[in-house]
Amino acid sequence: MNKGSVDRDRAKLFLVVSVLATFGLYMIPYGRYVAYPLMLLSTLAHEMGHGIAALLTGNDFDKFEMWSDGSGLAYWRGNPGRFARAFISAGGLVGPAFASAFCFVLARRAKVARVTMGLVALALVASMVLVVRNLFGFMFVGTLATLFLALAAKAKPWAAQLSLLFLGTQLALSVFSRSDYLFTDVAQMASGPMPSDVATMAEQLFLPYWFWGGVCALVSLLIM
């Protein structure tokens, strides 16, 4: 059996372990407190999805903030048309699914997973310098970057592979566990209520907000 086959078989086993461990967190006493940082991870992927979508449409990604209640906000600047505005809104909604797929694909080989952890850590450090602009966001992203750097530098390749698959599993499950946001026209933020992403899409593209929520849910499933 070649090394690639061993890596892929181990990845399949680690994926099953990650799923079981995730469900276990919600069944054991105080497990939800352990799962709290994993919820914040999906917020990070969501808001970065908005920022990346803004950059892809030729706009500026000014800053990113997140708060302890799991809400976040990406600030972008530009004068896009209505289709680009809708694309930027959708970028956050499908962001966790894209990040999950990224983790699953690159975790197929242990050594690639280890390098990936290092590159993601460097990307997080760059985001701290360029766009993260509030204390809680800075602390969370900084902690995540430190953890990923440690895994890349010190952990065995198989441990990095397991970690990347675990992260991918959390992001994949967040698509479903936080799917209620796809079907509401109001987002409850730390700063107060504001129009949700699907409400913004409906305003720019017509059709009801729940229609665009369904579209984004389907796209997320297809990605994963």
Quick: pLDDT tens for 10-50. 767 766 776 676 666 666 666 666 778 888 999 999 999 99
Interatomic CA distance for residues 177 and 217, integer angstroms: 12
Quick: pLDDT tens for 124-163. 999 999 999 999 999 999 999 999 999 999 989 888 988 8
Tokens standing for residue 96: 């966790």
Interatomic CA distance for residues 106 and 112, integer angstroms: 6
User: Are residues 157 and 118 in contact, defined by beta-carbon separation less than 8 angstroms?
Assistant: no
Q: Which amino acid, 130?
A: L
